[in-house]
Amino acid sequence: MQANEFNEVLLNRRSLRALATTPIPREMSLRVLEAARWAPSCSNSQPWRFVVIEDEPELNAVKSALKPGNQKWASSAPMIIVVCANPEDDYLASGQPLYLFDCGLATENLLLQGVAEGLVMHPMAGWEEQPMKDAIGLPDPYRVVCVIAAGFPGPVENLDVDLQEREKSPRVRKPLDEIVVFGTWPKV
Ligand SMILES: Cc1cc2nc3c(=O)[nH]c(=O)nc-3n(C[C@H](O)[C@H](O)[C@H](O)COP(=O)(O)O)c2cc1C
């Protein structure tokens, strides 16, 4: 693969909300999950677990555990992936909860593979944890780290008007000179 092709995948990844109800073929979801499996993790601890929900009544239960703002658009998703981890699996190298960082890396792999497959993959933090755990049967001490709505792109007209506008709005990022320091941290 050319570097510019990879860049295209990066730039095409968007947290879109218009999702078709069409099911995702199993071989496609396996490729997406396989991409997550190859993420780096601290001491190769691989703390991530992925609970893939596609069938009723669990799919509806998972959607009911989303915050209302997410329910509005994620209700059409044919698949919800719940990224989970056991905090006790944390590899304490720096006194930071690195299992969350590792799960983030795996999640990004998953999102990017999804984009390369032509899917919309939208990560969410807006959910209620205990109802989400109940919906997927997740035991303690596992925690829900991230919830991803997945599906093929769907009709934008089905979204609320404000969300239709957000769907088409340009993506905004801080400029490099605000987030990068070459050399040491500038003195004030
Ligand atoms: C950890 C995390 C939590 C997020 N939670 C939500 C959410 O609950 N609802 C939502 O609509 N978008 C959510 N997003 C999507 C972000 O709003 C989105 O990534 C950001 O605005 C940048 O847009 P882009 O992903 O299209 O580049 C979340 C993203 C991340 C990484």
Residues with CB under 6 A from ligand 1: 14-15, 70, 123-126, 146, 171
Tens-place pLDDT, residues 157-185 = 999 999 999 998 999 999 999 999 999 99
**In three state form, how does the secondary structure of the chain look?**
CCHHHHHHHHHHCCCCCCECCCCCCHHHHHHHHHHHHCCCCHHHCCCEEEEEECCCCHHHHHHHCECHHHHHHHCCCCEEEEEEECHHHCCCCCCCCHHHHHHHHHHHHHHHHHHHCCCEEEEECCECHHHHHHHHCCCCCCEEEEEEEEECECCHHHCCHHHHHHHHCCCCCCCHHHHCCCCCCCCC
In-domain check, residue 127: yes
Tens-place pLDDT, residues 108-146 = 999 999 999 999 999 999 999 999 999 999 999 999 999
In-domain check, residue 8: yes
Q: Please state, rounded to an integer, the average pLDDT across all residues of the chain.
A: 95
In-domain check, residue 78: yes
Instruction: For ligand 1, pick from 63, 73, 124, 173 the residue to mutate: most ligand atoms within 8 Å of CB.
Output: 124
Range of the domain at 118: 3-179
Tens-place pLDDT, residues 58-109 = 999 999 999 999 999 999 999 999 999 999 887 766 678 899 999 999 999 9
Tens-place pLDDT, residues 33-44 = 999 999 999 989
In-domain check, residue 130: yes
Structural domain tally of the chain?
1
In-domain check, residue 186: no
Tens-place pLDDT, residues 8-41 = 999 999 999 999 999 999 999 999 999 999 999 9
CATH classification at residue 139: 3.40.109.10
In-domain check, residue 185: no
User: Can you tell me which atom of ligand 1 is nearest the CA of 146?
Assistant: 1
